[in-house]
Amino acid sequence: MTPPPYSLTKLGNLSLLRVPMPAVASVTALIFANTGSRYEEKTEQGIAHFFEHMVFKGTKSFPSAQLLSSTIDTLGADFNAFTSKEYTGYYIKAASRHLPVALKALSEMLLSPLLKDEDIEREKSVIIEEMNMYHDTPMQYVSTLFDRLVFPDTGLGHDILGTKAVIRAMTRTQFVSFLNRWYGQGNVLLVLAGDATALLDPKLEAQIDSLFAGQASDRLPDKQVLTPYLNEQTLQPERLHIENRTTEQAHLILGWTGLERTHQDKHILTVLTTILGGSMSSRLFSEIREKRGLCYYVHADADFYHDVGIVGASAGVDPTRIEEALTVILKEFRALASHEKPVTQEELTRAKEHLLGTMTLSLEDSQTVAQFYGMRQLLLNEIETPQQVQDKIQSVTLADVTRLAQSLYQPGEQRLAVIGPFPDKTVFERFLA
């Protein structure tokens, strides 16, 4: 696959990344901010996500949430935002003829959000209901418990949504301080992906420069603000968390230390987790669902952060058979690492083709392309093209997978988080040996 060309330019202190896509009539305008829940102080946990909500409540030219949303809706556009542990994103995807309006809306959302006191107070209830929703969705909430187990008392360990007590206490002063600290031009990246004609318009840079020129000089944060948070100790002594709850299905995550985002074996790990639990023909899916009927969902995943990572498996199983499911999961990890059940060439080829195929399909969409290129530039300060990623996946060998599996699978180092009707946690201790 030939990747679309891209260009990275500086407009003052703003970084602009353009990825023209031939024969595409839409454009995704995406702004990444180099901040997330990991970098929050304990007294403001949840503010990165809360701030993401607040920018949709009104700006200088669009002074209410209704006016802002109706303006974008009139374009027939798709717009949303997302907050992760290490970055935040805001995007509008629209027909390319509407790009000027999309850029104006995005620029004002991040340059001049009104942050009204009454809107903040009202949105507190919305955030708390979002917390309640996730808490009542154990399939998702178990990942919060696992992160808390693996990274206690660190930025990676707390919930992106924060706590109810902290959310209720937040003030406009905190939001203004957060905006000034993290949303300077030097800390954001504007990505445009889509219609090549629109992106190569010679007037575009001047339009963007005029929209973002109002950025105040004191909104250029010192990158050293990240330093204190990047030396966190990982994988603490506590290794088991059971939340005893009456549920029809038990939800679990079992995992180990993984790899940081820049690790040279990152693509090998992606192939490894695909073989273990990344598709309907994977080992865990075949053994736990198809052969034993223990679950509806089961998969293996890897999360990559700035300086650490985790790898593991998650599943939703019949509570009366959770011990059987955990036994099989551990057996499959051990069998791969010990060469007891070595990866076959057929499995390796299938995993590679699965990854390459899903990537190709996803990159037909301008929003996915914007995220693909933008996240690499933001988090790695370099661009890895789709072709380069595919080449690295293709280069993975059987020996690579076995070597990495042996390195990551460390008996006695696994962590386990479970939600389900289990008043006695001791029954799970044997799975930590």
Known catalytic residues are 52
Pairing verdict, β 188-195 and 14-21: parallel
**Of the candidates 271, 286, 405, 290, which has an alpha carbon nearest to the alpha carbon of residue 345?**
271
Indicate the SS3 state at residue 131: helix
CA distances from 79 to 35, 56, 66, 193, 424 (A): 20, 10, 14, 14, 46
Q: Which runs of consecutive H residues, i.e. helices, occur in 278-365?
A: 283-284, 322-337, 345-362
For the beta carbon of residue 134, count every other beta carbon within 10 angstroms: 16
Half-sphere exposure of 405 (CA within 13 A, CB side): 27
In this structure, are residues 74 and 94 in contact, taking their beta carbons and an 8 Å threshold? no
CA distances from 98 to 29, 76, 103 (A): 11, 9, 9
Cα–Cα distance measured from residue 157 to residue 150, given in angstroms and rounded to the nearest whole number: 7
In this structure, are residues 155 and 38 in contact, taking their beta carbons and an 8 Å threshold? yes
- Cα 263 versus chain centre, distance: 18
At 60, which helix (H) or strand (E)? Answer: none
Q: What share of the chain is helix, strand, coil (3-state, %, to 5)?
A: 50, 20, 30
